[in-house]
Copies of this chain bind each other. A is one copy, B any other.
Amino acid sequence: MRKTNIKELAKILNFSVATVSKALRDSHEISEQTKKKVLEAAKEFNYTPNPYASSLRRKRSKTIAVILPEVADNFFSLAINGIQSIAEKKGYHVLIYLSHENFVIEQSFVEDCRSGRVDGLLISVTSETQNGAHIQKLLDEKLPVVFFDRELESIAAPKVITNDYECGFNSARLLLERGCQNIRFFSVSSDLAICSKRAEGFLAALAEAGLPNENAICYFSANDTHTHEHIKEVIANRGTVDGIVASVERLAIQTYLACHELGVQIPDELKVVAFSTVETAPILNPSLTTITQPAFEIGKNAADILFTLMEGKDYGYTKKPVIIPSVLVERKSTQNKTGA
């Protein structure tokens, strides 16, 4: 059935457009009888108010935006579930924008949020994002913004993250305890706080053990379409390297695929730990030792803070991020034969 617009509806009813509009907004200027007529006709003739127009009037879109780099990583799909669990309770829609690790796309999405389309923003930045001027603009215009996981240290906004430094430290220490002597950290970015903090913790564990740290951090750009080939090269030419910490899920899976293709045995020839929430960790060959991030909880907490801000309430913001700790789950990929 074709939609009727407000002019046509007014004509059908023989009322002015202003009267119909006021009746639809439940104005006290209009009699109950007129309101009833208008509502009945709106239903009968398939009139839906245009929310662009009503957003202008109400200045509320009942929508929040989530900008994140990708959904193929399990972390983000679980975080979205956490966000949606709160938004649904509040009767809000969630719009998801994927930046595909591209800073220019992220900027354009953030710009889009300035226009009144959304009432608040949850963001996890791309691995290319080095400065936050685009996000600062939103904050200057009083649009609530909350970071989750991938934050920008230079921007003063609420942040929900995990204990990245500590986890980086623990992952390296586990490998050293299992007998590794020459370990590497696979990173996607030197700029992303989550990666640099994990790397810092990793290096601190090396220093504590009195081991050298030159070349200990290997970078694989998130936009490198040849990551698989590059990881395969690194594994093939690994020399004495006997342990790897993968800072994101994708790099762990690529490491496994490379070892599989090259016939390199995990854990006998190479031990692997990954920052990952991948559900298949226990059924991989061999099962994968993970730093399991509380992805759902991170999303849920970030959304909780966002709604608190959107409702104009104070949630007790300090410069310190909210930290929800990850859990190290050891599986076969780091165990020695006797421990397997």
Query: Is A200 on the interface with B (CB-CB < 8 A)?
Result: no
Please report the C-alpha to C-alpha distance between residue A93 and residue B100 in the assembled complex, in whole angstroms. 13
8 Å CB contact of A56 from B49, B52, B260, B278: B52
What is the interface size of chain A, counting residues whose CB is below 8 A from a CB of the partner? Answer: 53
Question: Which A272-330 residues sit within 8 Å CB-CB of chain B?
Answer: 278-280, 282-287
Cβ–Cβ contact A109 & B80, under 8 A: no
30 contacts between A and B (CB under 8 A): A1-B137, A2-B141, A48-B114, A48-B115, A49-B115, A50-B56, A50-B116, A51-B115, A51-B116, A51-B117, A52-B52, A52-B55, A52-B56, A52-B117, A71-B77, A71-B80, A72-B77, A81-B100, A93-B108, A93-B109, A93-B112, A253-B279, A256-B280, A257-B283, A260-B282, A260-B283, A280-B284, A283-B285, A285-B285, A285-B286
Copies of this chain present in the complex amount to 2
- Minimal Cβ-Cβ distance residue in B for A62: B112
Q: Which residues of B contact A93 (CB under 8 A)?
A: 97, 108-109, 112
Q: Is A176 an interface residue (CB 8 A)?
A: no
A115 to B51 CA separation, bound complex (whole angstroms): 6
CA distance A283 to B287 in the complex (A): 10
User: How far apart are the CA atoms of A108 and B93 in the complex, in Å?
Assistant: 9
Indicate whether A53 reaches chain B with its CB closer than 8 angstroms: yes
A10 at the interface (CB under 8 A from B): no
Check: A41 CB closer than 8 A to any chain B CB. Answer: no
Interface residue A98 (Cβ < 8 Å from any Cβ of B): yes
**Interface mask (A36-66 → B, CB under 8 Å = 1, otherwise 0):** 0000000000001111110110000000000
